[in-house]
Structure 1
């Protein structure tokens, strides 16, 4: 019996309680450990929230990180593991998530963390379903054909998380704000895709639109070969340009948040944007080593984010995103 099936078979019906009955402080501590190890950039940005919001962000992050690791066979976002059995792992994510939202114990603190923060903020099953659909797309060997296809994927794996984060931050109940939170998640994922093109290719995945590859005369599956890196750099630069449109649109939503929340969002946008821009700047050399932003550079972005939050006059993008949340949600049939 697989590890996932053993985990599911051990679950029993128990009295309903937030966090599956676990101690909240213990869940927060485990969630803090997860974000500290899994994302140095987001961990730094999250420290800018007030205590309650910060803890809730950590709890939600713990669930996102655990789902991603389970689906991809990773450990804290490291190298992609064996993709055999991914369908079973995604199904395990669905079952554990449903139990967490119902207040049932899951035998996994990251899923119980979701149950805790959902009980506190009203996160819904539709929200989690949209995120899990992204893992299901990977399980179905998703390959984007068009720009809209890759943006739809970005919505499910990151934009939908942005929507959940907006709820966790108690953002104004305004569709504009939630659309812009989605835009920020999409921007983050576009940056990640640009950084990880070669790593993804080595695992048999490609998140670049087939139409873009054809225009660059790159063959899918061979697009990341060393001899193709010069042409690939132009494609990744196009991806980073798209990221910047979503990044700038997101700032217009963050403008309506409370000071500490918008400071955190402006800082995170700067840090993740810097990753994408560094990939573009390095060109064909961007994948020789994993692109990172140094701790000192991150501190600089946090300081700049503070000034941006004080002034709070973001410049709207010259061209707004062609596709946003209403165009991209939901796909639940994957």
Structure 2
């Protein structure tokens, strides 16, 4: 690699190390030649996310202009134009090496643009439309890098895993998202549990949940669990050298749901985290598991009396 390309991969790796600790740990279990490409995709998604989330020192118009400019430089690079950017050379190189679907990247950038103007989602289908670009396509971007014995069969589980990971983040980060004037819990779900946005804001201010909010969070956990269940068949289909990585990521992100349940579904008192000791234990078990071993579904048992989701539109939980 030339110096600029190597520096771009290093920049992506550093973004991953600093901001994606759980996934970064899992990526360390991949063959060395694959890691840089996973770092490149993480760097791409993280940098775009940082543009739209940096609300402290930039106005919405400024963030929109920055996203438009960065997207234009990325698209120009896809067309073969020289790119002056600290990380895009690595992203463009990874896309070329694996012939990744350009439409996935366009869908991702569309969802990032939605974060500049959309502050809530009326229904779960509306939220799924957003997550199609922000999460599901990340699964399909990753699949060619991870490799699979049956890419066609592994495609939908890869999409579902992206959805599971992002919904887990939405559940854990309700307070953080409210700080950006966003809610990713559907309005219809809030209404079903008698919860308003003002109730959520009061919980943030008091650092304490209410019984209705806790039931709402427990309900959303069942949604995430359904996505994990749909993703599970795909991991044994991955290339043997990629399975330990994704077993670890699967278990650790699912472990966040365990932590949410352990604190009584109160996501306001403290941020749910998986301990360092558990992270290392999970990684060790993943390394020892023979290739093709089914994964264990993560997360707590559903709270008694709450509905359990069935599968609806396009195979997604509803």
Scaled by the length of structure 2, what TM-score is found?
0.86
Cα deviation for residue 145 of structure 1 reads 1.3
CA–CA separation in structure 2 for the residues paired with 1:114 and 1:297 = 32
Question: Does structure 1 conserve the Cα–Cα contact (< 8 Å) formed by 2:12 and 2:43?
Answer: yes
Please provide the CA RMSD for this pair: 2.8
SS of structure 1 residue aligned to 2:87: helix
Q: How many residues align?
A: 304
Taking the TM superposition and a 5 Å limit, the aligned residue runs for 1:37-186 are 37-73=18-54, 82=58, 84-85=60-61, 86-172=63-149, 174-186=151-163
1:243-296 deviations in whole A, cap 9, x for unaligned? 111112212011111222111111101111111221232135432222222221
Scaled by the length of structure 1, what TM-score is found?
0.82
Residue 322 (1) aligns with residue 316 (2): no
Question: Does structure 2 conserve the Cα–Cα contact (< 8 Å) formed by 1:123 and 1:167?
Answer: yes
Cα deviation for residue 124 of structure 1 reads 2.9
Question: Does structure 1 conserve the Cα–Cα contact (< 8 Å) formed by 2:252 and 2:274?
Answer: yes
Aligned to 1:267: 248
CA–CA separation in structure 2 for the residues paired with 1:286 and 1:319 = 21
Question: Does structure 1 conserve the Cα–Cα contact (< 8 Å) formed by 2:150 and 2:237?
Answer: no
CA–CA separation in structure 1 for the residues paired with 2:211 and 2:173 = 16
CA–CA separation in structure 1 for the residues paired with 2:132 and 2:30 = 24
Question: Does structure 2 conserve the Cα–Cα contact (< 8 Å) formed by 1:48 and 1:263?
Answer: yes
Aligned to 2:304: none
Cα distance, 1:320–1:255 mapped onto 2, change above 3 Å: farther
- Gaps (5+ residues) in structure 1? 1-18, 75-79, 328-334
Q: Which segment is superposed worse, 171-180 or 268-277?
A: 171-180
Cα deviation for residue 326 of structure 1 reads 9.3
SS of structure 1 residue aligned to 2:84: coil
